[in-house]
Structure 1
Amino acid sequence: MSVKTVLITGTSSGIGLATAVAAARSGWHVMATMRDTAKAGPLETAAREAGVSLDVRRLDVTDPAAVEACLTGLDRLDALVNNAGAGHVGTLELGSVEDVRAVMEVNFFGVLHVTRAALPLLRASRGRVVTVTSVGGIVGQPFNEAYCAAKFAVEGFMESLAPVAATTGVSVSVVEPGAVASEFVNNVGIDDRAPETEGPYSGALSACLARTRDAFADAQTPQDVAEELIELLVAERPAFRVQTSDRARAFVAAKLKDLDGSAVQSLTGTWVS
């Protein structure tokens, strides 16, 4: 059989980096994309240490023209892993709508742009779309309003697309990690001078950040998540929804069986008190 090709977005660090290397070790031809290829050093080092080669390409998922250019000329694409994303800490009242739009552009519209461009190739190969969302795409979380809104949107988009794509032989899956020890959290950060740290929500934010630090102290590794992604790439009948840890499964289950929302509100209410 010919070598299969997978395109993975957001591979400069974390889950994307680990998945690109793991896929190459599993025999895939990997198109490893990132917004700034000047940051490809860690990926290239990891690939070299693993004894694999990668096709590293620049791709800003928020730029439709760049997406089209990245895919132009491809003869075959067997799988797409939508992984690129960006976090945001804050609450709408004290933040800006522009910040929310920026989060939506990367986490939702970026996924839309790449998936839309890839579908004709995936239809030809009867391939698959695997999108990294988050437990935050199921459970709304304090001070994660913009991020959760974007991930909720991705979940709804993919859940709606899945049966349509299946009629043409393309499978669609979402992967919902919980806390993952990667640069993603460090890249979110929060300015000590941000309005939330001094305004009416300062106490709630402090409590929430303390809880978050505790959660990430025992986070799973990007390699753990990459293993779940590789399983979806090779599964004969991939599941639509996959959580990557027992903690993530329990967290998502609490929401999916909470018909009136009281259980989730009781749970997340403890994060800010």
Structure 2
Amino acid sequence: MTTEITPEITPEPTPETPAGTPTTRKTVLITGTSSGIGLAAAVAAARAGWHTVATLRDTGRADALLKAAEEAGVAGLVQVKRLDVTDAASVTGCVAEVVAEHGRLDAVVNNAGAGSVGTVEQQGMEPVRSAMEVNYFGVVELTRAALPHLRASGGRVITVTSVGGVVGQPFNEAYCAAKFAVEGFMESLAPVAATVGVTVTVVEPGAVASEFVTSLRLDVPAMLAGAGPYAPALKAYIERTTRSFAGAQSPEEAAAPIIAALTAERPPFRVQTSQWAGDFVAPKLADLDGSAVQGLTGGWVR
């Protein structure tokens, strides 16, 4: 079963405080907000009353986000900024700007990510390194830069991983390796961060109907033609995955646990975004919400 989190009720948002003015309104920075879960989370966070800094590598792709924020009546609480998680200067510069403009940083949502489909013998090392840069090192870089400010605010680190960060999946070696690394990093960081008042949560979506999969731009016939001895296995995998996405969650449904973790008094370490996701990882995780591991390792630092 998935973990249920009841969010706090937040008053309706009021007009945004002018830039550079310290504010009592909480501020969250979310990465990868051009579409999908990131876009839905940014709008939902603003609706919950947070100053929402919605970041993208290419701010020219912010139209859908801005339109959704306008339609939701929260355009005044959504601020678009450029942030490339693979560029350390971009990360530190963006975090510094946010703190300078809002006077605080209360949460980061590590959502930006990139998929990779293939097997290492045929792909080579570059896709593996690329997947680690975006999905793992980018998460570590932003978390590191944000932690001093989150310590000051008693804030939170929320990271969107994947059921692929728990269960390794065929032809997703690079992607799953990076997501496994993120889960290990966050599980190790959580008890340490807790000693200084920062909570850490990982959010594990399953299949989500978003542009994440579309953006992979997979040429399936070409992949199968070039798969050699792996062609039968690849064909079976693609057919199975296509079926699973037929019942995919909406981005808004997948974003709901992120907002719950953002606003709950005591969020769990781990949460799945749907019953399907919980059932999928259950054979691997007896400790679905991570409380048993955190109870064990938390005692090592107290």
Q: 1:137 aligns with which of 165, 172, 175?
A: 165
2:38 aligned partner, one-letter code: G
Q: Unaligned 5+ residue runs, structure 1? A: 259-273
Aligned pairs for 1:94-133 (under 5 A) are 94-133=122-161
Note if 1:24 corresponds to 2:46. Answer: yes
Q: 2:268 aligns with which of 239, 264, 267?
A: 239
Q: Percent identity?
A: 66
What is the alpha-carbon distance in structure 2 between the residues aligned to residue 42 and residue 196 of structure 1?
36
Structure with bigger RCO (C-alpha 8 Å, 6+ apart):
2
SS of the aligned residue for 1:56 comes to: strand
Is the CA contact 1:4–1:28 (under 8 Å) kept in the aligned structure 2?
yes
Shifted more, 195-204 versus 29-38: the winner is: 195-204
1:164 aligned partner, one-letter code: V
Note if 1:68 corresponds to 2:92. Answer: yes
Question: Displacement, 1:193?
Answer: 2.6
Superposed CA deviations along residues 173-214 of structure 1, whole A, max 9, x for unmatched, are 000010000000111232343477441101111110010110
Q: 1:204 aligns with which of 233, 240, 243?
A: 233
Q: Unaligned 5+ residue runs, structure 2? A: 1-22, 288-302
Aligned pairs for 1:1-273 (under 5 A) are 2-53=24-75, 54-73=78-97, 74=99, 75-191=103-219, 192-194=221-223, 197-257=226-286
- Structure 1 segments, 4+ long, off by >4 Å, are none
Is the CA contact 2:227–2:234 (under 8 Å) kept in the aligned structure 1?
no
What is the alpha-carbon distance in structure 2 between the residues aligned to residue 61 and residue 121 of structure 1?
18
1:214 aligned partner, one-letter code: R
CA RMSD of aligned residues (A): 1.4
Is the CA contact 1:94–1:196 (under 8 Å) kept in the aligned structure 2?
no
SS of the aligned residue for 1:255 comes to: coil
Q: Count the aligned residue pairs.
A: 258
Question: Displacement, 1:131?
Answer: 0.2
1:98 aligned partner, one-letter code: E
What is the alpha-carbon distance in structure 2 between the residues aligned to residue 32 and residue 18 of structure 1?
11
SS of the aligned residue for 2:228 comes to: coil
Is the CA contact 2:30–2:108 (under 8 Å) kept in the aligned structure 1?
yes
2:180 aligned partner, one-letter code: F
